[in-house]
Amino acid sequence: MAILSAPFAGRPPCINRGFCNQGCLPNAKFSTLIQHIPEALRYGAEILSDSMVTRILVGKDGCVEGVEFVHDGKTYEQKAKLVIVSTFVIETPRLLLNSACGKYPDGLANSSGLVGKYIMPHSGHDVYAKFDQEIRLYKGTPVMAVSQDFYETDPKRGFARGYSLNAHGSRPVEMAADAAAKAGIWGKELRDIMLEYNYYARITVVGEVLPDINNCVTLSDEKDEYGLPRALVSFSYGDNDRRLIAHGIAKCNEILNAAGGTPAFVVPDTAHLLGGCRMGKDPNTSVVNEFCRSHDIPNLFICDASVFVTSGGANPTETIMAIASRTADYIISHRDELFSRDKLMLKAVHH
Ligand code: SF4
């Protein structure tokens, strides 16, 4: 969970009061904002906050040469020797597609036609049960225990892959809002549930959703305030996903029952978007290589959850960070090539 159990790097340990999703006041919980950004600033990084990148700029040689961005209503250009796009599963493909130009009419890094394709959430169904004794779901960190007993493919179950199960806290407002908006529970029934909030427990499924090329980000006809096409997201579960979800919900109810609870309701949720710029060795079937370097444009890197090829059945943050760390090591060890335009051009010709 990347939450400290002991003091580390000037940050205190967790005090276990919960409400982590609303922001961790003591800073015991990791976030890029409290750990990496201050460190980057100490090493001389400059952050241009409140700036919207509207386009990645491409030179005559086909390499990228910076970005165009809007800050406070004014448009600027930032020159760069290399560009790393880290704007997540929706905005990364959107920016690459919106950066289409004469040299790359279908968008940047898109010779495979796969920019924006194969996006995946996790199925994240919340299964609630009511107990005779107080549970007090607001206490402690949101996820307290994880089981991966059901993670691997089991041919007997009739679907590929599997899921993790999280013993999952729930804060009152979140529980009421999810029950109403996602489970359709309203009025007296919702009021009765919330009056007995302290007696409910929940287990959440983190289910692997299989990649499907029809699940994708494309550009919408609608424009945003910068005049740029918005992202249009298309997604639906496949048969395998539905069978996996049904199995996961039944397993949660079985566990809650065995623990003495009475199954109450299910919130059909999702979590963790992944995919859209898949990683791979073959430029025909992927967007970036194993170091997040675009197959098409040698000084363009895509480094975020969009490079995932499958979703797995577990929370992805640590994997995203590991990939980022490997990408950083690669950039450092290849800096002579990456920061020299002549050498980059040779590589572009070679491709
Ligand atoms: S319970 Fe959550 S919010 Fe509170 S200190 Fe621990 S990590 Fe931070």
Q: Which of 1, 8, 11, 19 to mutate to test the pocket of ligand 1 (most atoms within 8 A of CB)?
A: 19
- Please answer whether residues 287 and 295 qualify as being in contact, where contact means their C-beta atoms are separated by less than 8 angstroms: yes
SS3 state of residue 263: strand
User: Which atom of ligand 1 sits closest to the CA of residue 1?
Assistant: 7
Among 144, 160, 259, 168, CA closest to 207: 160
Residue 40 DSSP one-character state: H
Kindly report the protein residue whose alpha carbon is nearest to atom 6 of ligand 1.
14
Check whether residue 134 and residue 231 sit in a common domain.
Answer: yes
Q: Are residues 96 and 179 in the same domain?
A: no
pLDDT of residue 17: 82
Pair 222, 332 in one domain: no
- Residues 263 and 127 placed together within one structural domain of the fold: yes
Atom of ligand 1 nearest to the CA of 22: 3
pLDDT of residue 332: 95
Atom of ligand 1 nearest to the CA of 27: 8
Structure tokens, 305: 């959850």
Q: What is the pLDDT of residues 52-88, one digit of tens each?
A: 999 999 999 999 999 999 999 999 999 999 999 999 9
The structural domain count of the chain equals 3
pTM for the whole thing? 0.92
Pocket of ligand 1 (CB under 6 A): 3, 14-20, 24, 26, 28-29, 141
CA 314 / ligand 1 centre spacing (Å) = 21
State the pLDDT confidence band at 167, using cuts at 50, 70 and 90.
very high
Q: Ligand 1, from 141, 144, 168: best to mutate by most atoms within 8 Å of Cβ?
A: 141
Give exposure, 167-181, as e/b (b: 16+ Cβ within 10 Å): bbbbbeebbbebbee
Residue 173: inside a domain: yes
Residues found in the chain: 351
**Listed residues 272, 295, 316: the one ending a domain:** 272
**Which domain, by its residues, includes 2?**
1-35
Instruction: Ligand 1 pocket test: pick from 4, 14, 25, 136 the residue with the most ligand atoms within 8 Å of its Cβ.
Output: 14
Beta strands 300-302 and 83-85 are parallel
Pair 143, 250 in one domain: yes
Long-range contacts of 326-332 (CB under 8 A, 24+ apart): 326/290, 326/291, 327/84, 327/291, 327/292, 327/293, 327/301, 327/303, 330/291, 330/292, 330/293, 331/82, 331/84, 331/301
207-249, pLDDT tens digit by residue? Answer: 999 999 999 999 999 999 999 999 999 999 999 999 999 999 9
- Here the tokens at position 177 are 């809002």
